[in-house]
């Protein structure tokens, strides 16, 4: 399995620290509002990578944090006249609903910054003791960037160039010794949440949070650290500086970053009016369609979101779901149970697509090619199945398709047992009405179902239904 490592800018063979186990940390959202579709991209792609590593037999410990103390959270709390924790808890709960809608599995652990303050104070103290940080008279603690010689190794920036870019920037009231130094701990302002510390009543800087939560739940050195490419600099660069200076060992062996998400070829922003929450998109399409759309591109490529592309994603996903539905129907209505010799050949022929899927995912989690392999499998299934096939072949092909879909976090059999039962009962009633020549009732049932997005189709094998 190969991973493109931002640190070396090369695809590298993945070698875990401990055979068979993966320790992975993914930077999570700051919770002050409903998450937007830009937040959804790392959630979906790294959840898919996690699922794939598990499919490959790895035991994955997946940690993803919620940043629950931040200027934006505090501002919103002040606007509403409530505690900052009320805002963050509310939007953590909402974020979890969106994750469920996109079938993003909960992390093994979802740490929250405000619950780990003790560890942060400890790490900041250690950095001061080792000469990598200093406090100033207002109680702010800064990281002494130039004391960490490898600074810039992840973003491939040269510290002297950075220095030049910062030379003229002097923020009034800041007491730091060098423009490159960044905040580890800052004093509270009026009305802000704060914690006691050796330096002042205050709160941690954003970067130290991830260094501490990663250390606490995964140890000093982890296998993979991931996030959006906008986090490479300064967030991840600073995490490396903090963790490696404090712990004295390499922080993460592999760094993975997903590309930007644009809307209609423009950067997503509230001022441009092209800002979408996951909630809005899931209501208009579904979390599954959004997930399929996100996986249709390579995670490192920029991805353009548009209504046309979402419609196309919906149609593509529907083709796969229809193939699954057909197999279920064929299984239920099969006249023979066991596979014939010829059918065994057909099943063996489907192995090729699972191999292609695996090769694509092994190549730096190429979900675009992996989905293409699923499509080839669908085509193979459609051209090799008739209403004469055995139940065993229908079931086996279904299972193969379902396994690959599941690695992508895409649900082949919609969780709709109750709905299925209700639809079946209505179809039964409609058949009875037609037998009784009550065509008005039969048509009414058909129209009612259509209004709910269920299209009935009278075929030679009986009545089938699918979503429209």
Residues at the contact surface with Zn ion, assessed by CB under 5 A: 27, 210
Residue 321 CB, nearest distance to Zn ion (Å)? 36
CB of 91 to Zn ion, least distance (A): 17
CA distance 352 to 271: 48
> Looking at beta carbons only, is 11 or 115 nearer to Zn ion?
115
Contact (CB, 8 A) for 181 and 257: no
CB of 454 to Zn ion, least distance (A): 44
Q: Would you say 209 or 343 has its CB closer to Zn ion?
A: 209
**What minimum distance in Å lies between the beta carbon of 5 and Zn ion?**
18
Pick between residue 210 and residue 370 the one whose CB is nearest to Zn ion. Answer: 210
What is the DSSP track for 266-325? EE--TTTT---BHHHHHHHS-HHHHHHHHHTS-TTS-EEE-HHHHHHHHHHHHHHHHHHH
Q: Least distance (Å) from Zn ion to the CB of residue 237? A: 11
The least CB distance from residue 259 to Zn ion, in Å, is 18
CB-nearer residue toward Zn ion: 239 or 325: 239
Structure tokens at 194: 């704060």
- Between CA 400 and CA 406 the distance in angstroms is 10
Task: Please tell me what DSSP assigns to residue 35.
Answer: P
Beta strand 222-228 pairing with 252-258: parallel
Which residues, 6+ apart, have CB-to-CB distance to 129 below 8 Å?
none
Name the token pair of 204: 């941690």
Whether omega before 366 lies within 30 degrees of 0, making that bond cis, reads no
192 burial via Cβ count (<10 Å: 0-12, 13-18, 19+): middle
**Nearer Cβ to Zn ion (210/397):** 210
Phi/psi of residue 262, each to 5°? Answer: -105, 160
CB of 41 to Zn ion, least distance (A): 16
CB of 210 to Zn ion, least distance (A): 3
As a whole number of angstroms, the distance between CA 402 and CA 397 comes to: 8
Residue nearer to Zn ion on the CB measure, 28 or 202: 28
When the beta carbons of 237 and 392 are compared against Zn ion, the nearer one is 237
Nearer to Zn ion, 120 or 210 (CB): 210
Residues 6+ apart with CB under 8 A from 448: 426
The set of residues, in sequence order, having a beta carbon less than 8 Å from that of 133 and lying 6+ positions away, is: 124, 127, 141, 142, 143, 144, 184
- The CA-atom distances, in angstroms, between 454 and each of 429, 457, 465 are 15, 10, 6
């Amino acid at each position: 399995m190969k991973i493109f490592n931002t640190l070396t800018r090369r695809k590298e063979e993945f070698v875990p620290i401990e055979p068979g186990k993966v320790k992975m940390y993914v930077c999570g959202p700051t919770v002050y509002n409903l998450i937007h579709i830009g937040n959804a991209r790392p959630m979906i792609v790294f959840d898919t990578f996690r699922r794939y590593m598990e499919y490959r037999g790895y035991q994955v410990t997946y940690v993803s944090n919620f940043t629950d103390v931040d200027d934006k959270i505090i501002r919103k709390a002040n606007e509403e006249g409530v505690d900052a924790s009320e805002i963050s808890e509310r939007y953590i709960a909402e974020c979890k609903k969106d994750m469920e809608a996109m079938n993003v599995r909960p992390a093994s652990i979802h740490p929250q910054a405000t619950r780990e303050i003790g560890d942060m104070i400890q790490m900041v103290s250690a950095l001061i003791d080792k000469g990598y940080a200093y406090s100033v008279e207002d109680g702010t603690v800064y990281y002494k960037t130039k004391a960490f010689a490898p600074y810039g190794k992840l973003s491939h920036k040269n510290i002297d160039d950075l220095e030049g870019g910062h030379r003229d920037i002097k923020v009034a009231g800041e007491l730091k010794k060098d423009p490159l130094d960044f905040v580890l701990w800052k004093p509270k302002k009026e009305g802000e949440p704060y914690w006691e510390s050796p330096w002042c009543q205050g709160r941690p800087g954003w970067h130290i949070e991830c260094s501490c939560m990663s250390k606490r739940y995964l140890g000093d050195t982890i296998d993979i650290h991931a996030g959006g490419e906008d986090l490479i600099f300064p967030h991840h660069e600073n995490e490396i500086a903090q963790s490696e200076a404090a712990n004295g060992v390499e922080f993460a062996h592999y760094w993975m970053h997903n590309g930007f998400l644009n809307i209609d070829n423009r950067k997503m922003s509230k001022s441009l009016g092209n800002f979408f929450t996951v909630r809005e998109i899931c209501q208009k399409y579904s979390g599954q369609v959004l997930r399929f759309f996100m996986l249709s591109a390579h995670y490192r490529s920029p991805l353009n979101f548009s209504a046309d592309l979402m419609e196309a994603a919906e149609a593509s996903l529907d083709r796969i779901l229809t193939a699954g539905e057909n197999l279920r129907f064929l299984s239920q209505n099969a006249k023979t149970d066991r596979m014939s010799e010829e059918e065994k050949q057909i099943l063996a022929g489907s192995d090729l697509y699972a191999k292609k899927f695996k090769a694509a995912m092994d190549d730096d989690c190429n979900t675009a090619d992996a989905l293409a392999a699923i499509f080839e499998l669908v085509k193979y299934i459609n051209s090799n199945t008739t209403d004469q096939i055995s139940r065993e072949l229908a079931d086996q092909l279904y299972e193969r398709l379902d396994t690959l879909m599941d690695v992508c976090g895409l649900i082949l059999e919609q969780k709709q047992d109750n709905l299925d039962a209700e639809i079946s009962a209505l179809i039964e009633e409609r058949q009875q009405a037609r037998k009784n020549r009550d065509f008005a009732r039969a048509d009414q049932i058909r129209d009612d179902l259509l209004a709910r997005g269920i299209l009935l189709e009278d075929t030679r094998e009986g009545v089938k239904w699918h979503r429209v």
